[in-house]
Structure 1
């Protein structure tokens, strides 16, 4: 007990000292590699909720103040138009990921920098696998370890995003695939140590199991905590239950962020592949979207919980369009340098597929009325979100394929066709909301 209290207070004192020297002092000093590493080890091996949260918050604040990768302001006249400058990668900076050549690892170890606790592809996938196994347990108990795993995962995703976004910004101007070939995310996913299909399935499992049920489960956890007889254990359980509820929300956001980054990377990789910019060094990996579609096709019970929590509108709509395309368009012969999936389908075209009794009946035979109406409602929801997202204006026009009034009108018609095909078809509350929104739009435009 004495040892634990000693390490607890020394850990907090160390974190506060680093915070003051690097973030609050008048003369700020950049944390050394070993200081960053020590904070990360506190996050990985903390024995208390307070230490875990403090180290997590400090790491994120330090990363924002001292980024490992960033874009310089362009010194060209057109920089006033928002054009990016050069990409700066601080190669000597500490990172929670082990990437690079064996030579660089040897140099780091020679300098007394231990890498054993840092994350490579296998360790990162194992972390996701541990979270997936935890959410599948019906007797999930309140403990500090799940909290640490979720905080650790959220931090690692933040690091991946911080490395990815500057490259994406510059890529839009330069279309240089090398920018992403050298990204941490691409290196992790390209490793032979990682079983990518299993990794995607684990991400999806966390999404449609823990994320979908985190509200109800959090209530159960709180009740469990309140039933504790011991006052000290009670207070500890309540704190963990509240933390777990918030961390689950943050973990759901992080899983969705990671999946979105991977699908964006796959899209960029496909563009580079079609232009002949990739080489054998880049290898080949089945795109995440394709694996998601396979999982939802063979496990239709997962469609509803997955789409309820996956809210990123661009990729949510893309998943639904590609799902429908499997049943409404003829498959084409694919080669390494061809599109992995058909990109011809638009939401307007999919909705038009329900314009006749015959075509509606054909679709329903393949995917059922329940799945069809669910997908249409979620697609409409995603299209509404895209209408208010300036980042996806070009994508919205291309993939939606019609005006808001046209989409609303065809959604109502599609549901009418589904009802005519099956008079006993029940419309869920979510689907009724989509139909109400469509009817409201039509009434306002008439």
Structure 2
């Protein structure tokens, strides 16, 4: 079995343990079989491999110490994942695996424990809670394990946490992990790469996998039976609603982190294109570390993007629940994630370019861009019967009509800058095309984006008109490459349909 270039040969590890002798060798040899006196026997035999393993005497881990833990991880995989009727690990076994990911200082152990937890999450989903089973019209729609182990802890008192649950992540620890990953990203920009960076990013990735696996089934059932309690009790909602953190600060830190990761990835690609050696960045480290770091960072950034999407979906579902009178005093009032993201993009323009390139949820992106423009489109102070024919800026084609007006376009460009306007129009048109090819468009329950309202040809004509007006406002400014591509695409679509 291989983990990013590391070959783990369990048979050799067990033979080494037998040579060392002792009770540990008996435990290791017994784990090879799945039928070992039931689930309790499996737990006792696997955990015994850790209890009788080589003691850690210094920061430098011995190979025997690493082998013991790798053998434990492989034993759990052999018992739970390889057989067709494998049994899920017990809570103590889950905690032991999670503890290896969270605390160990070996790249082999970190990668192996993360991969095992990720595979266990796919094989044994944790979404079958009693309230979910009762809410579902079809019991077969909900699968999972009752009272499944979770890496999160939402207790009110610190004294409630037992000794074995001290590894669990509460909302404050989750926010601290985001800040730690951000610090890691800053250090890596300075050419300092640490093993802690891989561990922190993989830990964050796993926690986001757990959040997503808990959130998505609840949203599906909510759409069927409108049971808001299911979403209220989701891990994501409890994280954002916790009094231990300020959810605005959490969203801002996630947005800043995603931008920094994107900027660093761009620097790495530039170095590769220029054939510049990056050996100085990983001096003193195993070559596998330098290979794993960019990949782990890229997947971490993608996981953060999913987190933004889930937060925006949660706010949208909450709005629907509120309209139907399903919310109560238990639902604390908080600013929607989309509003916080939008404010950050407006007041920190350097975040806009990476966010637009990273965020690939077309319907949400189009809605955000529309809200961005709506903040700067002049509003008429007096409404009369003649104003009934005014442009509706709540739709995408309405936004394009506003930008096709030289006065309105000039006002918006003066406030936000011509480059920002070009970026927004180009990405909005790209998102619209993607949605128009995917009917019916997958969107939020309350999405104002409906690609069926206006024909594609009409939108292309409005896009060309808006781009032409933007060029006339500032004739000295050069069109961005992406906007030129949007102009060419719109003209091509029109020509093919004439």
> Of residues 33, 37, 43 in structure 1, which corresponds to 2:95?
37
> Of residues 177, 194, 211 in structure 1, which corresponds to 2:228?
177
Question: Which residues in structure 2 correspond to 1:19-98 (within 5 Å)?
Answer: 19-25=77-83, 28-70=86-128, 87=142, 90-98=145-153
Aligned length: 421
The answer as to 2:490 corresponding to 1:438 is yes
The aligned residue for residue 338 of structure 1 is none
The aligned residue for residue 167 of structure 2 is 117
**TM-score with structure 2 length normalisation?**
0.77
Q: Distance in 1 between matches of 2:448 and 2:491?
A: 21
Residue 324 of structure 1 and its aligned partner are, at CA, apart by 0.7
Q: 2:80–2:86: 8 Å Cα contact kept in structure 1?
A: yes
In structure 2, do the counterparts of structure 1 residues 18 and 88 end up closer, same or farther at CA, with 3 Å as the change threshold?
closer
Q: 2:191–2:280: 8 Å Cα contact kept in structure 1?
A: no
The answer as to 2:194 corresponding to 1:139 is no
The aligned residue for residue 336 of structure 1 is none
CA deviation vs aligned residue, 1:282-323 (integer Å, no higher than 9, x gap)? 111111111111111111232112211122212111111111
> Of residues 446, 464, 468 in structure 2, which corresponds to 1:412?
464
Name whichever of 312-321 and 208-217 sits farther off.
208-217
The answer as to 2:206 corresponding to 1:155 is yes
Q: Distance in 2 between matches of 1:284 and 1:422?
A: 43
The answer as to 2:329 corresponding to 1:280 is yes
In structure 2, do the counterparts of structure 1 residues 101 and 67 end up closer, same or farther at CA, with 3 Å as the change threshold?
farther
In structure 2, do the counterparts of structure 1 residues 320 and 26 end up closer, same or farther at CA, with 3 Å as the change threshold?
closer
Q: Distance in 2 between matches of 1:192 and 1:22?
A: 37
Q: Distance in 2 between matches of 1:384 and 1:88?
A: 36
In structure 2, do the counterparts of structure 1 residues 29 and 391 end up closer, same or farther at CA, with 3 Å as the change threshold?
farther
Q: 1:266–1:288: 8 Å Cα contact kept in structure 2?
A: yes
Q: 1:262–1:288: 8 Å Cα contact kept in structure 2?
A: yes
CA deviation vs aligned residue, 1:316-371 (integer Å, no higher than 9, x gap)? 11111111111126599xxxxxxxxxx96111110010222222222222222221
CA deviation vs aligned residue, 1:214-241 (integer Å, no higher than 9, x gap)? 14236659956535898xx46x1x3222
Residue 276 of structure 1 and its aligned partner are, at CA, apart by 2.2
Residue 70 of structure 1 and its aligned partner are, at CA, apart by 4.5
The aligned residue for residue 359 of structure 2 is 310
Name whichever of 127-136 and 211-220 sits farther off.
211-220
Q: Distance in 1 between matches of 2:493 and 2:314?
A: 35
CA deviation vs aligned residue, 1:149-177 (integer Å, no higher than 9, x gap)? 11111111110000001011111111111
Q: Distance in 2 between matches of 1:198 and 1:393?
A: 29
Q: Distance in 1 between matches of 2:61 and 2:346?
A: 53
Classify the secondary structure of the residue corresponding to 2:333: coil
Name whichever of 132-141 and 300-309 sits farther off.
132-141
> Of residues 247, 254, 263 in structure 2, which corresponds to 1:203?
254
Q: 1:412–1:435: 8 Å Cα contact kept in structure 2?
A: yes
Classify the secondary structure of the residue corresponding to 1:12: helix
Please say which structure displays the higher CA radius of gyration: 2
Q: Distance in 2 between matches of 1:366 and 1:311?
A: 27
> Of residues 180, 191, 202 in structure 2, which corresponds to 1:130?
180
Residue 85 of structure 1 and its aligned partner are, at CA, apart by 5.5
CA deviation vs aligned residue, 1:347-398 (integer Å, no higher than 9, x gap)? 1110010222222222222222221111000101111222234573566884
Name whichever of 354-363 and 181-190 sits farther off.
354-363
Question: Which residues in structure 2 correspond to 1:348-367 (within 5 Å)?
Answer: 348-367=397-416
Q: Distance in 2 between matches of 1:156 and 1:290?
A: 25
Question: Which residues in structure 2 correspond to 1:301-380 (within 5 Å)?
Answer: 301-328=350-377, 330=379, 345-380=394-429
Structure 1 unaligned segments of length 5 or more: list them: 333-342
Question: Which residues in structure 2 correspond to 1:203-222 (within 5 Å)?
Answer: 203-217=254-268, 220=271
In structure 2, do the counterparts of structure 1 residues 278 and 100 end up closer, same or farther at CA, with 3 Å as the change threshold?
farther
The answer as to 2:243 corresponding to 1:188 is no
Residue 49 of structure 1 and its aligned partner are, at CA, apart by 1.9
In structure 2, do the counterparts of structure 1 residues 362 and 163 end up closer, same or farther at CA, with 3 Å as the change threshold?
same
- Across the aligned residues of Structure 1 and Structure 2, the Cα RMSD in angstroms comes to 3.0
Q: 1:355–1:417: 8 Å Cα contact kept in structure 2?
A: yes
**TM-score with structure 1 length normalisation?**
0.86
Which structure has more RCO (C-alpha within 8 Å, separation ≥ 6)? 1
